[in-house]
Amino acid sequence: MSEETQAFTINPRYRLQWEPAQNCHVLLYPEGLVQLSPTATEILQHCTQPISEQGLVATLQDKYPDADTLPQDVHEFLQQARAREWIKPAAETSGEAQ
Amino acid sequence: MNTSLSTQDKKYVPMWLLAELTYACPLQCPYCSNPLQLPTSRKQELSTEQWISVMQQARQLGAVQIGFSGGEPLVRPDLEVLVEEATRLGFYCNLITSAVGLTSKRLRKLGDIGLNHIQISFQGSDRETNARFGGTDSFDHKMAMTKEAIALGIPLGLNFVLHRHNIHQVEPFLLLAEELGAEFVELANTQYYAWALHNRDQLMPSQAQLDEARAATERFRARHTGHMRTIFVAPDYFDDRPKKCSNGWGTTFITVTPEGDVLPCQSAKVIDGLTFPNVREGNLHDIWRQSDLFQRFRGTKWMQEPCASCPEKEIDLGGCRCQAYLLTGDAYATDPVCSLSPDHQLVRDALRKIEPDDGEARPLLFRNTINARALAKEDS
């Protein structure tokens, strides 16, 4: 399966949460957190259920038809998110204890 | 479309609450960062209700991570109540423990009520070393609890505090952690405050030991095929630039001591002449935003030379205020770890004192009531 079609979700160890005092979403994980930009938040909100890069781009492109560089931007973001283990392949996460 | 990963909020938010539930601990580690004075009783500790109020106030300020620490937080029988409440409030809950006092029943309960992460400390990679430096025969129990936490699916990290007498065990420790199935391993060199500072000349590793430990970590990383992450924290005495104090004094971290004092970092009480606000007398919001303590070393305005005109001042914010005070007697001084500090020689001298282990000149002083009393007498 190619990277574009493989389904992934947010790492089940991590938690996406809105923080009014910080006026942003945060991604929480053992002993750490990251404050997310609105764009990063929007992408990750679509990853709470298994989704592929293709599916994600299609969904976002529907909402932002004029964003020309969207596929590339999403691709770059997902690469970073994968490297930081914010997202994981859905197959790998489904069997883990929650 | 802007895909920047994070936003910079200009307003300081205490994102991390470190709840030091008690200074009591069944271990006697000679590198403990708790104060040299041991409380004679636990009567002054905050009550369950007071801790819940502290957590509510911290959440309102924007705290999202909570670390239950100590001493040994398991000494508090209400730990489970506090973790449950913290989870309900929306905290991501981390338990920082030696596992001494942990039982299968407590672990299961903690998992059920939503503990997000447990960090278990080891004092050595084998039974003897662990017992020697922790002052308790706890190795088998730590192993058993680690296995159970992993089986329960609680994200688990292991913490190994390094010093000259156990730093050669980095490799066996990593292999042990790998075999157990830990998700993270923190190889944390002793940082020299409180008990560790008192024992510094007996704990400091040599440059060769440190290099070998780093190399062992690298060898392990290169060979490891799983997902275990390893963090190696070097002792800052070997660097030529200091570490930023708690990500910046009064910017990210808020610590509440067992008796309710509110600190910008765990060690701040070592600095004489500061007044420490207490949650019994004020609310966290005012303490964080308005107290003299939290404003004192926030940002760069307080700096004197050579920090004030240094082009790197925003990078390390002059280093650690506690270390500056402990080594130079002036909390406004440049952290002597910095090679630009006029007091840098103090750090170089400390490293020069390291000698081979051919009979120690002074024995390690373990953290226990008898030794604390003896130290108090020396002081008076």
Q: In this predicted structure, what is the pLDDT of residue B245?
A: 85
The C-alpha of A61 sits at a distance from chain B's nearest C-alpha, in angstroms, of 11
For residues B319 and B242, the answer to whether their CB atoms sit within 8 Å is yes
B252 in contact with A, Cβ within 8 Å: no
* Average pLDDT, rounded, for chain B: 91
Peptide bond into B258 cis (omega under 30): no
Exposed e or buried b per residue across B233-259, where buried means at least 16 C-beta atoms within 10 angstroms of its C-beta: ebbbbbeeebbbbbebbbbbbbbbbbb
The model's pTM? 0.90
The pLDDT value given to residue B351 = 85
Percent of chain B with pLDDT over 70: 95
ipTM score above 0.85: no
Confidence check: pLDDT of A98 > 50: no
Closest CA to B133 of B70, B203, B198, B67: B203
Residue A95 confidence (pLDDT)? 44
Closest chain B residue to A69, measured at CA: B1
Residue B134, CB half-sphere, CA atoms under 13 Å: how many?
29
| A-to-B residue pairs, Cβ atoms closer than 8 angstroms | 86
- Nearest-5° angle of CA B64, CA A78, CA A70? 115
Residue in chain B closest to A34 (alpha carbons) equals B6
Percent of chain A with pLDDT over 90: 65
Q: Cβ distance B337 to B242 under 8 Å?
A: yes
What are the Cα distances from residue A73, in Å, to A40, A70, A78, B3, B175? Answer: 10, 5, 9, 7, 39
CA separation for the pair A17, B368 (Å, rounded): 42
Report yes or no: B179 at the A interface, CB cutoff 8 Å: no
Classify burial at B43, counting beta carbons within 10 Å of its beta carbon; exposed 0-12, middle 13-18, buried 19 or more: exposed
Residue A94 has pLDDT above 80, yes or no: no
HSE toward the beta carbon, residue B309, CA cutoff 13 A: 2
Note whether A36 and B64 are within 8 A (CB).
Answer: no
- Name which of A14, A19, A28, A31 to mutate to probe chain B: the one with the most chain B Cβ atoms within 10 A of its Cβ: A31
Burial class (CB in 10 A: 0-12, 13-18, 19+), B310: middle
Name the residue among B4, B13, B227 with its Cβ closest to that of A37: B4
Give tens-digit pLDDT for A33-68: 999 999 999 999 999 999 999 999 999 999 998 888
